[in-house]
Amino acid sequence: MTPITSELDNLKKLEAVGASHELAETLAEIIEKSHVDSHESLKEFIHNELTREISGLDAKLTKEISGIETRLTREISGLRAEISRDLKDLLIKIFGIIVGTVGIAVTILKLFP
């Protein structure tokens, strides 16, 4: 039902119970204005609630992202330290292989002058 039809129905109902045309018209306008005002208030309330919820979600997401960044930074630092240790171990092994190979070469050269 449209607002105009609703207002006309209210006007007819008020006149049917004995209200004068002017009184019925005034009451119908008051009822319609009240309806429009309450509708606007409801829209404003919903808008405010949605804004509040979105702000809350934004804060939660920001906090969660910050936590993830901190954990990733910690993990990356740990991985870098582990890779550094592994590279040192590998370098020591390669140096050992080179020293061993040189030792074998020197021994072979001493055996076959």
- The CB density around residue 15, as the number of other CB atoms within 10 Å, is 15
pLDDT at 5 over 80: no
- Percentage of residues in the chain having pLDDT higher than 70: 95
3-state secondary structure of 19: coil
Q: Residues 47-80: pLDDT tens digits?
A: 889 999 999 999 999 999 999 999 999 999 999 9
Q: Indicate the burial class of 28 (C-beta count within 10 angstroms; 0-12, 13-18, 19 or more).
A: buried
Q: What is the pLDDT of residue 17?
A: 85
Higher-scoring residue by pLDDT: 22, 70:
70
pLDDT at 2 over 70: no
pLDDT at 32 over 80: no
Q: What is the pLDDT of residue 30?
A: 81
- Per-residue pLDDT band at 112 (split at 50, 70, 90): confident
Higher-scoring residue by pLDDT: 9, 86:
86
Specify the range with the lowest mean pLDDT, choosing from 2-11, 20-29, 36-45, 77-86. 2-11
- The CB density around residue 14, as the number of other CB atoms within 10 Å, is 19
Name the DSSP class of 17.
Answer: T
